[in-house]
């Protein structure tokens, strides 16, 4: 085999991987999720050595360009076992390629401004913000109305052109960028607020509205957005809905879902589904909007959203606290639920590794509790309507917890500025992780009492090879497990996966609490959902998008979709 590979490598380097895939064919079909990568030799350039190799036709399975090069001389076969970074599927050949007629058609319906062909702009749209996933789309469309989205999809469906819906492109699982040459439908230009009812608090807006703009719009009206994210300055409401994005300060609403009172969605064939009802209660027939919340653009493109927003409460208090051990954090949470009751609006935790990382990598931040090091830090936020009452309630709860020994130390924000600097620590962790080097991110739902065991086990497995950083929404049992290394490294990855997924599955947890599945976890859905459930999802996908043009290769495993006939050429 080595000889064959060597010969192949010399004679036709760019197809070596395809040949190897033939050898190992059985391993690639189902269950195994493997990629092969051949490095260049001094004498010839292999597939690996070509720029943008992962997008080359026939490359089979590749890995994103951003991965550091494989070290060493000569060729090397490079196998990965269940590597989420590398689980890139094959381009579905039943999809058509873009031609000049397509482009002139789109120009006709959208005008010159709505059709983007410039490489530079496409480069940004092809790459996710972590620079982990990269597609090779040659065309981005920027519709300005639902009608235009409908026309685009109608056309793409009839031409079998695959599309990827895109908003602010801040996703973490590669859901918002093309995998191959899918047409990017970017809804950023659809950014109008359509109506706001000052009595009911129902906001209707277009999908491309940036979250932060909505937050400040509502703030002026005396209402609050039931969603707040670190990425609020870039992310768009359509994407938030499509991914059912999670949030920091959402103790009572859990996920964004409960705040959405209606949607307008365009289906794959261009049909516009108006489900924009602005009623609080509506129990007629199936509640179809739920199909589109969190479906990551694989069932339809969200074009308008109506959101039920709660009135703004003036009194917000925030404490930054230190705990000795994880058990204390948990006890503190259950005490807080009991004693703070309705005013408790956020309960976030970060461990010492997360704290150190933020302080090291982000400028202008200071440790609110500099006198000693603590193993765990907690943020407790209360929101209510009576400043003095709420503050007193929180203060007496904290003082009592301190006397009980649950808390080691703590500070209470005395003004909004202090509060934002505390939040900045928690919200700055993803940014600090990016600056620290390579990072393997996992967003898991776990029973709160077992949550930190995973972190400790992971530290044991990895030793000094990586920095295991944990933070999350303790109130929701949501753990953000981040493994920070100098660079992406296979031996580390093999120690993390599938261990982390299996561990989560054993605890009946979810492998994606907030981030969705996207491309990164499409093949991992089995860890959280039963076979029957996944089959039904595939059947729904087939019903709504028979040609499979909407955000292909993502959310559901490609193998499942081809079984149910969606992917058949």
Partner 1 sequence: MKIMVAIKRVIDYAVKIRVKPDKSGVETSNVKMSMNPFCEIALEEALRIKESGRASEVVAVSVGPSQCVDTLRTGLAMGADRAIHVEFPGTLYPLSIAKIFKALVDAEKPGLLLLGKQAIDDDCNQTGQMVAGLLKWPQGTFASKVVLDEENKVVTVDREVDGGLETLCLDLPAVITTDLRLNQPRYATLPNIMKAKSKVIKKLTPQDLKVEIKSDLEVIQVTEPPKRKAGVILSSVDELIDRLKNEARVI
Q: Which is nearer to partner 1, 305 or 322 (CB)?
A: 322
Strand residue runs (E) in 115-159: 115-116, 140-141
DSSP code string of 16-50: HHHHHHHHTHHHHHSS----EEE---SSS--GGGS
Q: Which is nearer to partner 1, 265 or 379 (CB)?
A: 379
Q: Which is nearer to partner 1, 276 or 380 (CB)?
A: 380
Distance of CA 40 to the CA centre of its chain: 33
Minimum Å distance from CB 373 to partner 1?
A: 15
Which strands, in side-by-side order, build the sheet including 260-266?
193-196, 202-206, 301-308, 260-266, 272-275
Give the x-and-dash track for 409-448 against partner 1 (CB under 8 A): xxxxxxxxxx-x----------------------------
Helix or strand run (H / E) with residue 211? helix 211-221
Cα 177-441-538 angle, rounded to 5 deg: 55
Q: Which of residues 347-366 bind partner 1 (CB under 8 A)?
A: 366
Q: Which is nearer to partner 1, 177 or 413 (CB)?
A: 413
DSSP code string of 515-555: S--TTTTGGGGGGTS-HHHHHHHHHHHHHH-TT--BSTTSS
Q: Which of residues 100-139 bind partner 1 (CB under 8 A)?
A: none
Residue 210 is classified by DSSP as: B
Q: Which stretch binds partner 1 (CB under 8 A): 101-109, 202-210, 255-263, 313-321?
A: 313-321
Q: Which is nearer to partner 1, 148 or 390 (CB)?
A: 390
Minimum Å distance from CB 321 to partner 1?
A: 8
Minimum Å distance from CB 368 to partner 1?
A: 5
CA distance 188 to 238: 9
Q: Which is nearer to partner 1, 387 or 506 (CB)?
A: 387
Q: Which is nearer to partner 1, 410 or 428 (CB)?
A: 410
Q: Which is nearer to partner 1, 72 or 364 (CB)?
A: 364
Q: Which stretch binds partner 1 (CB under 8 A): 9-17, 76-84, 141-149, 316-324?
A: 316-324
Minimum Å distance from CB 392 to partner 1?
A: 10
311 touches 383 (CB < 8 A): no
Minimum Å distance from CB 474 to partner 1?
A: 19
Give the x-and-dash track for 389-408 against partner 1 (CB under 8 A): ------x--xx--x----x-
428 touches 362 (CB < 8 A): yes
Q: Does 71 bind partner 1 (CB under 8 A)?
A: no
Candidates 464, 451, 314; CA nearest to 391 is: 314
Residue 164, φ and ψ in degrees, nearest 5: -125, 115
Backbone conformation region of residue 486, classed left if phi is above 0, alpha if psi is from -120 to 50, else beta: alpha
Please provide the size of the chain in residues. 569
Binding partner 1 (rule: CB under 8 A), the pick from 96, 130, 369, 462 is: 369
Distance between first and last Cα of the chain = 32
Q: 3-class SS at 252?
A: coil
Count the Cβ atoms, other than its own, within 10 Å of residue 27.
15
Minimum Å distance from CB 464 to partner 1?
A: 34
Non-local (6+) Cβ contacts of 356 within 8 A are none
Binding partner 1 (rule: CB under 8 A), the pick from 368, 477, 509, 548 is: 368
Candidates 92, 48, 82, 22; CA nearest to 547 is: 92
Give the x-and-dash track for 203-222 against partner 1 (CB under 8 A): ----------------xx--
Minimum Å distance from CB 476 to partner 1?
A: 25
Q: Which stretch binds partner 1 (CB under 8 A): 96-104, 184-192, 308-316, 428-436?
A: 308-316
Q: Which is nearer to partner 1, 388 or 464 (CB)?
A: 388
35 touches 61 (CB < 8 A): yes
Q: Which stretch binds partner 1 (CB under 8 A): 29-37, 234-242, 277-285, 314-322?
A: 314-322
Give the binding-site size for partner 1 (rule: CB under 8 A): 29
Chain residues binding partner 1 by CB under 8 A are 219-220, 314-316, 319-321, 366, 368-369, 387-388, 395, 398-399, 402, 407, 409-418, 420
């Amino acid at each position: 085999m080595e000889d064959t590979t060597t010969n192949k490598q010399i004679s036709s380097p760019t197809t070596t991987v395809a040949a190897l895939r033939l050898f190992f064919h059985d391993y690639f079909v189902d269950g195994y999720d493997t990629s092969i990568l051949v490095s260049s030799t001094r004498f010839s350039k292999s597939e690996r050595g070509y720029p943008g190799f992962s997008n080359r036709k026939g490359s089979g399975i590749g890995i994103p360009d951003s991965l550091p090069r494989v070290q060493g001389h000569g060729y090397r076969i490079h196998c990965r076992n269940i590597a989420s970074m590398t689980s890139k599927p094959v381009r579905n050949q039943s999809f058509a390629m873009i031609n000049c007629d397509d482009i002139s058609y789109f120009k006709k319906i959208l005008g010159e401004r709505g059709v983007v062909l410039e490489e530079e702009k496409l480069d940004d749209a092809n790459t996710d913000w972590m620079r982990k996933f990269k597609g090779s789309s040659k065309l981005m469309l920027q519709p300005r109305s639902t009608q235009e989205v409908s026309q685009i999809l109608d056309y793409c469906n009839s031409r079998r052109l695959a599309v990827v819906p895109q908003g602010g492109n801040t996703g973490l699982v590669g859901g918002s960028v093309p995998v191959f040459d899918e047409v990017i439908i970017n809804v950023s230009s659809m950014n109008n607020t359509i109506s706001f009812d000052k009595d009911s608090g129902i906001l209707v807006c277009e999908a491309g509205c940036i979250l932060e703009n909505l937050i400040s719009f509502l703030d002026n009206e005396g209402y609050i957005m039931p969603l707040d994210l670190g990425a609020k300055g870039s992310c768009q409401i359509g994407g938030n809905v499509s991914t059912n994005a999670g949030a920091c300060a959402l103790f009572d609403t859990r996920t964004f879902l409960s705040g959405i009172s209606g949607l307008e969605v365009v289906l794959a064939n261009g049909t516009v589904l108006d489900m924009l009802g602005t009623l609080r209660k509506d129990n007629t027939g199936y509640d179809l909007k739920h199909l589109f919340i969190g479906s990551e653009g694989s069932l339809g493109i969200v074009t308008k959203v109506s959101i039920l927003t709660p009135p703004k409460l003036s009194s917000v208090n925030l404490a930054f606290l230190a705990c000795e051990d994880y058990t204390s954090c948990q006890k503190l949470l259950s005490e807080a639920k009991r004693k703070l009751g309705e005013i408790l609006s956020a309960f976030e935790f970060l461990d010492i590794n997360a704290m150190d990382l933020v302080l090291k990598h982000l400028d202008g931040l200071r440790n609110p509790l500099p006198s000693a090091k603590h193993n765990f830090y907690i943020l407790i936020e209360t929101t209510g309507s009576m400043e003095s009452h709420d503050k007193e309630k929180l203060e007496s709860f904290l003082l009592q917890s301190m006397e009980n020994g649950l808390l080691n130390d703590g500070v209470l924000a005395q003004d909004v500025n202090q509060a934002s600097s505390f939040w900045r620590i928690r919200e700055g962790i993803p940014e600090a992780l990016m600056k620290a080097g390579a990072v393997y991110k996992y967003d898991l739902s776990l029973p709160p009492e077992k949550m930190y065991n995973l972190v400790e086990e992971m530290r044991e497995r990895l030793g000094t090879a990586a920095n295991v950083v944990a933070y999350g929404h303790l109130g929701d049992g949501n753990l953000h497990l981040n493994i920070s290394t100098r660079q992406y490294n296979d031996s580390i990855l093999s120690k993390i996966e599938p261990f982390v997924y299996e561990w989560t599955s054993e605890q009946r947890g979810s492998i994606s609490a907030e981030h969705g599945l996207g491309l990164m976890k499409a093949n991992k859905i089995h860890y959280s959902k039963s076979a029957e459930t996944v089959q039904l999802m595939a059947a729904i996908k087939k019903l709504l998008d028979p040609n499979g043009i909407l955000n292909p290769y993502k959310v559901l495993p490609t193998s499942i979709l081809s079984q149910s006939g969606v992917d058949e050429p």
